[in-house]
Amino acid sequence: MLTKALTFPVVHANGTHRDNLTLVLEETVNSLEKSLELLCSTAPNGRDFYPLGNRAIYDAENEHLGRIGRIESVIAELRAIWEHVDGQE
């Protein structure tokens, strides 16, 4: 879900070729999705935080979810740009 307006590139004769833009955007989105998958596998484990007190695991989980959300936001923005560029003639 996009949370802000984006400035989309315009495909034209003096700019980057549409195929180059879409390829780079596709590769970037795919890489970020793989990174997101890896990040999700690093979810905090309560056994690693209990020495810090009862709240530590909840704080760590909230921080982890924040990181996930930020990457999801970047993926959504780049996917929107990719779709916009791909739809241009």
12-58 pLDDT tens trace:
999 999 999 999 999 999 999 999 999 999 999 999 999 999 999 99
Q: Is the pLDDT of residue 89 over 90?
A: no
Average pLDDT over residues 45-74: 97
Q: Is the pLDDT of residue 3 over 80?
A: no
Instruction: Tell me the whole-structure pTM to 2 decimals.
Output: 0.90
Q: Is the pLDDT of residue 1 over 80?
A: no
Q: Please name the amino acid found at residue 7.
A: T
pLDDT at residue 33, rounded to an integer: 98
Torsion of CA 44, 47, 49, 55, to 10 degrees: 90
Residue keyed to tokens 């590769």: 27
Annotated domain spans of the chain: 18-86
Contact 26, 78 (CB under 8 A): no
Average pLDDT over residues 64-80: 98
| Alpha-carbon span 29 to 46, nearest angstrom | 31
